[in-house]
Chains A and B, each alone.
Chain A
Amino acid sequence: MFSYVLRRILAAIPLIFGVLTLTFFIIRLAPGDPASFFIQPGVSPKVAEQMREQYGLNDPLLVQYVKWLGNVLQGDFGRSFSRHRPVFEVILEAVPITLTLAVIGIAMEFIFGILLGVISAVKQGTLLDRSLTVGALVIYSMPEFWLSLMLIIVFSLKLGWFPASNLNSVGADSLDTFDYLLDRLHHLVLPIFVLSLGGTAGLARYVRGQMLEVIRQDYIRTARAKGLSERVVIFKHALRNALLPVVTILGASLPALFSGALFIEVIFAIPGMGRITVDAIFSRDYPLIIANTFISGTLIVLGNLLADVLYAVVDPRIKLN
């Protein structure tokens, strides 16, 4: 197992470098550069040129690449052009926020997804199952930004139950820790709801399929023949086996934990990784874009590896080789 993991990690290094190199060149093909931001009414026309010089953008592309490669090999991804701070400092500020959002979101996704999937499978063919199937499809195909805005209009504007944006209320710093956390949670309800809804619907369909397959197995018939209660049969015998492939989805969720939810973060004004990525792309902040690509690329590779390893751990029939 260890040598397998090591081999996979070693193979990932050139892959990630390839991705970073591609990103380096592709982002420079996009019209505009970070200095274009300084070409605007009221800003001295000389500034763009001075900034271009300072950012090293006047060097030939290959020279820029070699310099960049040298720095990256020493672990230096540079400073953000738009925020004038080391890129990892910018990212480290956003990661905890994105992580909170994603961990709660994924937890909700798994709890409700599995629960609804099991109900749907057990009640296969009933009105409940059909409604859940249709409901899941509708929710799954709803665009996140639209759903977010609808929820804001209903729960924030009309009912006034939940705040529409930001992480805390104005003046929340003066609250005690418990109230502060409650205020934070209160702000996170709508974004987390939107964030987990699509995943829940997808997972419920997946679990339902797995459950239906497992329920038809001989060992389930045996369990029922032994006179076990339906609850024990479903939750102890069937669900455990049905969940084996679901576990691997956890591995695939790893990149989402850090990369952030783009639309949701923009709409709900949450300063996480998604917003940083969008801002970086629009302001052509090359170092920040590359650092973000590095993080998500690494996580995708690690997530896939984790999924494979988990699969082997939970299912003894699979051998890593």
Chain B
Amino acid sequence: MTVKTLFACLAALTLLATASCKKKDGGEQAQTNNPLATTLVLADRSDVDNFNPVISSTVPGGNAISMIYPSLLGGTFDTANGYLVYEPAVAKSWTIAPDFKSITYNLRGDVKWTDGTPLTSRDFKFSYELYGDPIIASARQDYLEDLVKLRGKDGKPTEQVDFDKAILAPNDTTLIFNFEKPLAKSVIEFKTSLTPVPKHVWEKVDRKEFRTHELNSNPTVSCGPFKFKEWKRQQEFTVVSNPDFNVPAPAKIPTVTMRVIPDYTVQLTQLKTGAIDVMDGIKPEDAIKIEKENPDIDIKIVKYRTYSYLMLSNIDCEAYQNGKQIKPHPLFGTKKTRLAIAMAIDRERILDGYYFGKYAEIMTSPISPAFKWAFNGDIKPYPYDMKRAKELLAEDGWKMGSDGILERNGKKFSFTLVISKGATASEYMSPIIQQSLKELGIDCKIETMEFNTFVEKGRKHALDASLNGLSIGLEIDLMPTFGSDLDKAAFNSAGYVNKRVDELNKLGQAKLTREEAAPYWKEFQKIFHDDVPFVPLFWGSRIVGFNKRVIGEKPDILSIYTDLDKWTLSTMPAHAELK
């Protein structure tokens, strides 16, 4: 019996293996019958959180939403000048009031939700009310912070938006936003571009049940180049082209499936076998191999959206833990010491070794070089100069101890550099940094920490030094990373405090044109270079692999799925393309 079972199992396995081989051979020629020929298969490490633009706060969620929901304005990133340019979408045209305190949109009247109900200005107004509701706690509620506010008894604006005055929808195709103060044109366009949800569907839902409502996982009424088909949680979601979409047209690829594949190596294998068409976040070492060995895969890079840096706490962590006192850090509290460390790191070596000289660029300041109008090109990277680094440390009072470790006032220059678990670039860089610091007479230990703990400790200023990465927004805002109010500046883990930077941020954001704002951002970069709040390392490129059957892809700083509705597949039979 047991022997029989063994043979039965072996036979079954053989049968399965043969079946798979058959399928593979057949797949090539029978393009018309094979659903894969007309399905674009994407992959992500984690699942969509929900399909509701008001509450989604994950990247996969955002990607899914952009496929099935409309937007007031379309956007492309003007790489020549370095800013976002808005184009008509649901809005045909728009005018900004001369006082820069109001914008009026003129909407197309012929756009419909998938259930046939017209999309009107009231959908937008209603959606903004949802975005602003504290019970719903939308991740994008700060888009509303400049809208006209309710007045208190003293006549001063309160925290709450006065929706009756801030957003007006006098008829189906007119939508007006009013602001408390004049804002730059780009800021007005950015802050009024939140994705709408259908009013006629969501107005029946109690706000308390909004986050848990079934429609969040089954968006039956939508209005985008694709429409929702199915979500198998933690496995995949599928959207299909929406034949009725007219802003500007239905998606050309009939079906798109996004699969959840948490493991990096498995995802890479799937890209190589053709089981998935697109993979984001390929490591430089794998990209190099793919370029050599996999002619069926195109490697594309997107620059200047994320940077890495060596965080050296400016403030004494212990003093901050005990009653939030701001005192200089005993080791990294002075500019000279931080500058010395910056000059002791051989970035070129890391660039060549980890990034193969082409998947990153040495960073000079946290303003992205993509924002050409604001980027200060006069600033040059800190040179790799061990001699000068040693001089700087000596000038700052550090003397070599008998054990070869620097000391000052009896305190040894010894610290722990913390890196996040699984951050391969940090794993590569940390021993090189450790070695360089050893040459200076600095004792640096390396500790790896679980990601959540790493982030939490960084935010609470409990780490002396760490290797961090940060992704930037498309509008410049220095406050989250450099704001002096450490309670509010969630990413200022170095505890950098400089009132002039706060001022510059205010001044830069208050200017109505980029030309007027640019000098403030450039001044900030000069200050950054002089103060060394942290040691800038690299602008890492996002590396994306595309199966060559994908046509029309053009990943940019906005998204790797830019213009997904216009992509096609070379395996698609001509009639499958929906026009």
Contact = CB atoms under 8 A, between A and B. Distances in A.
A162 B270 CA distance: 11
A152 B266 CA distance: 7
B259 to A, nearest CB: 6
B16 A32 contact: no
B272 interface: yes
A160 B261 contact: no
A28 B408 CA distance: 40
Contacts of B266: 149, 152, 164-165, 267-269
Given A152-B269, A156-B273, A170-B259, A31 B451 contact: no
Interface string A53-72: 01000000000000000000
B212 A79 contact: yes
Interface in A39-98: 39-47, 50-51, 54, 79, 82, 84-85, 93-94
Contacts of B141: 44, 46-47
A90 B270 CA distance: 28
Interface stretch (A11-19, A110-118, A123-131, A252-260): A110-118
A174 interface: yes
B2 A115 contact: yes
B235 interface: yes
B17 A271 contact: no
Interface residues of B, number: 66
Interface stretch (A133-141, A181-189, A209-217, A306-314): A181-189
Interface residues of A, number: 59
Contacts of A173: 230
Nearest to A84: B212
A153 B480 CA distance: 43
A161 interface: yes
A36 interface: yes
Given A166-B261, A174-B35, A275-B262, A282 B452 contact: yes
A171 B35 contact: yes
Contacts of B20: 160-163, 186
B473 interface: yes
Contact of A166 (B16, B134, B236): B236
B138 A47 contact: yes
Nearest to B265: A149
Interface string B312-353: 000000000000000000000000000000000000000000
Interface in B484-501: 488, 490-491
Given A32-B452, A160-B24, A174-B35, A39 B490 contact: yes
A108 B235 contact: no
A161 B236 CA distance: 22
B20 to A, nearest CB: 6
Nearest to A42: B473
B300 interface: no
A266 interface: yes
Contact of A45 (B5, B142, B216): B142
Contacts of B71: none
A206 interface: no
Given A41-B471, A157-B269, A189-B13, A31 B6 contact: no
B379 interface: no
Interface stretch (B360-368, B455-463, B526-534, B550-558): B455-463
A26 interface: no
Given A47-B138, A164-B266, A269-B262, A32 B456 contact: yes
A112 B491 CA distance: 54
A41 B490 CA distance: 9
Interface string A215-258: 00000000000000000000000000000000000000000000
A47 B143 CA distance: 13
Contacts of B2: 111, 114-115
Contacts of A166: 235-236, 259-261
B39 interface: yes
A294 interface: no
B235 A163 contact: no
Contact of A189 (B16, B39, B273, B491): B16
B16 A186 contact: yes
B9 interface: yes
A112 B6 contact: yes
A266 B3 CA distance: 33
Interface of A: 30-32, 36-47, 50-51, 54, 79, 82, 84-85, 93-94, 108, 111-112, 114-115, 149, 152-153, 156-157, 160-167, 170-171, 173-174, 182, 185-186, 189, 266-269, 271, 275-276, 282, 284
27 contacts: A32-B452, A36-B455, A39-B455, A42-B139, A44-B138, A46-B142, A47-B137, A84-B216, A94-B234, A114-B2, A149-B266, A152-B269, A163-B275, A164-B269, A165-B275, A166-B260, A170-B36, A170-B236, A171-B35, A171-B36, A171-B257, A186-B19, A266-B263, A267-B262, A269-B259, A269-B261, A275-B234
Given A162-B16, A185-B16, 6 more contacts: A46-B141, A47-B141, A54-B135, A93-B233, A156-B273, A269-B266
Nearest 3 pairs of A and B residues by beta carbon:
A171-B35, A271-B234, A50-B137
